[in-house]
Amino acid sequence: MGPGLIEGRQVDIDSEEPIKQSGYEAIRAFVGVCGKLTLLGYTKKPSHLYPIAKNISEAYGCTELANLSGGSEAFLAFRDPDNKSKFVRHGNMKTARASMVGFHIIEE
């Protein structure tokens, strides 16, 4: 998991990230905290991290955003809000490097 893309409402990844971190675009899975909204995302096309962070920061005003995975390991699954026994998933769930992140919503 990582790197962090937005921290404290500020884009926290260098705009030169593609050059400094091997320069390749990859499919990405990410999670963010945007006010009362938890944002789960998965890119359908390969992307660098900086444009993801910049666009999400501008569109949703997230306080935190983290890259979960990239490349062939990118995978995101979450429980369907309309059917709690079903999961919505994107990516290759059979990859050896897939990791599980769980969330529990606490309603106040």
Give the CA angle between residues 94, 96, 98 to the nearest 5°: 75
Residues 80-101: tens digit of each pLDDT: 777 777 777 777 766 655 555 5
Q: 63 vs 25, which has greater pLDDT? A: 63
**Burial letters for 26-60: b for 16+ Cβ neighbours within 10 Å, e otherwise?**
bbbbbbbebeeeebbbbbeeebbbbebbeebbeeb
Residues 27-72: tens digit of each pLDDT: 888 888 888 888 888 888 888 888 888 999 899 989 999 888 777 6
Q: What is the DSSP letter of 80?
A: -
